[in-house]
Amino acid sequence: MYIDVAREKFEQIRNKEDMVILAIESSCDETACAITKGKEVLANIVASQIDIHKRYGGVVPEIASRNHIMAIQNCVDEALKQAKIQIEDIDLFAVTYGAGLLGALLVGVSYIKALAYAMQKPMIAVNHIKGHIAVNYIVNKELKPPYICLIASGGHTAIAKVDSYMDIEIVGTTQDDACGEAFDKVARVLGLEYPGGPQVQQLAKGGKASIDIPIPYKDIDTLDFSFSGIKTAVINYVHKMEQRGEEINKKDLAYSFQDRVTSIMVNNTIKAARKYGLKTIVIAGGVGSNEMLRQKMDIQSKKFGIKVYYPPVKMCTDNAVMIASQAYHSVLNGAEISDIDLDASATVKITDK
């Protein structure tokens, strides 16, 4: 039986610090394959579908799935070439099983199952959000739990107390939209292309905070977030100006929105670090590449003697190095491998395995 052979091979690498992992990520609009050896990245291939989805103003799930199918084999071939290794040299296969678009996830999961079965090697399922956090271990070798992590992506916004490589406690979360979702929607009303975050950031350059944007939970002591009121305030402002026939200062609007959203995220993250007495903050997820967010986090953290870690911009958005990194730490910390009945799951909690 596959699982017996896989378990036997897994026992041999369970404590192997330089294990070779091939990881696949296909949860949204990037088909990615990475190969790592211990904490070293041997290959990092990302085939982005952004140009395809731009035409529709956002990711179209069915189109994403089809493009993953077309791209996945090339990504793996490219990764093996870049890493200069053979498929036989891989110790462990890893894949994002959720959260994400179900059809898109299924491509990666089915592919890795077929590969692991054919090679009779172990495989492990990785939580996408835990991957976003874990990429920080690869790029900042000295980073270790415990710390406070701001998770800021297109689908999630939360503050996590990361107690170990496996255990995470959510201490603050959005009550409505994710911050990336707010960036994307605001970008759309400003007539900018998908994905909106980088476009809003670009437009905000040279702008100022001249437009009043509400502060959610102003008088409440909470680590939670709310972005839908902010998003609606921007949309209402645009409609009001259009009805009056007045010109909108788009630079100022982008700046005012970005300024408000980043301040909220930074304030809550610092508050969490102070509340739990932790001197390390980590930023994870696509919105984590936002320059204003990073600058504010650096400035505010310094005031309290807190050290901030974040990945380079291209490691903030979806990639497979992050999946390999979480797989690596999961294995060294007692995680179990998956059997051939492994399934994709569209909704996965940040705290799930």
Dist CA 313 CA 196 (whole Å): 15
What distance in Å separates the CA atoms of residue 140 and residue 153, rounded to the nearest whole number? 20
- Which 6-45 positions form the footprint of ligand KG4 (CB under 6 A)? 28
**Minimum distance, C-beta of residue 88 to Zn ion, in the bound complex (Å):** 31
The letter for the amino acid at 50 is: I
Taking the complex as a whole, the smallest distance from the CB of residue 286 to Zn ion amounts, in Å, to 6
- For ligand KG4, the closer CB: 98 or 197: 197
290's contact among Zn ion, ligand KG4, none, with CB below 5 to 8 A by partner kind, is: ligand KG4
Query: Please, what is the minimum distance in Å from the beta carbon of residue 322 to Zn ion?
Result: 8
Largest CA distance in the chain: 71
Long-range contacts at 331-334 (CB < 8 A, ≥ 24 apart): 331/10, 331/13, 331/14, 331/19, 331/92, 331/124, 332/14, 332/15, 332/17, 332/165, 333/164, 333/165, 333/166, 334/166
Least gap, CB of 277 to ligand KG4 (angstroms): 28
As measured in angstroms, the least distance from the Cβ of 206 to ligand KG4 is: 16
318 binds Zn ion (CB under 5 A): yes
Q: Which residue, chain included where needed, has tokens 């990475």?
A: 34
Nearest residue to 43 via CA among 67, 79, 95: 79
Stretch 288-307: interaction string toward ligand KG4, x if CB under 6 A: -xx-----------------
Nearer to ligand KG4, 184 or 259 (CB): 184
Instruction: Report the amino acid identity of residue 313.
Output: V
Give dist(CA 162, CA 144) in Å, integer. 9
Among ligand KG4, Zn ion, none, what binds residue 195 when CB lies within 5 to 8 Å by partner kind? ligand KG4
Task: Identify which of residues 93 and 183 has a Cβ nearer to ligand KG4 in the complex.
Answer: 183
| Per-residue mark of binding to ligand KG4, 104-143 (x: CB under 6 A) | ----------------------------x-----------
Is the Cβ of residue 35 or residue 350 nearer to Zn ion in the bound state? Answer: 350
- For ligand KG4, the binding residue among 98, 108, 195, 216 (CB under 6 A) is 195
CB 174 within 8 A of CB 150: no
Q: Pattern of binders to Zn ion over 271-310, x per CB under 5 A?
A: ----------------------------------------
Pairwise CA distance, residues 44 & 76, whole Å: 10
Q: Which stretch binds Zn ion (CB under 5 A): 136-144, 193-201, 211-219, 318-326?
A: 318-326
Which range binds ligand KG4 by CB under 6 A, 177-185, 214-222, 226-234, 345-353?
Answer: 177-185
The residue within the footprint of ligand KG4, chosen from 98, 172, 198, 216 (CB under 6 A), is 198
Find the shortest distance in angstroms from Cβ 85 to Zn ion: 27
Query: Applying CB under 6 A, which part among 58-66, 153-161, 205-213, 275-283 lies near ligand KG4?
Result: 153-161
> Considering only residues 257-286, where is the footprint of ligand KG4 by CB under 6 A?
285-286
Binding site for Zn ion (CB under 5 A): 153, 318
What is the contact surface with ligand KG4 in residues (CB under 6 A)? Answer: 28, 132, 153-155, 180, 183-184, 195-198, 201, 285-287, 289-290, 317-318
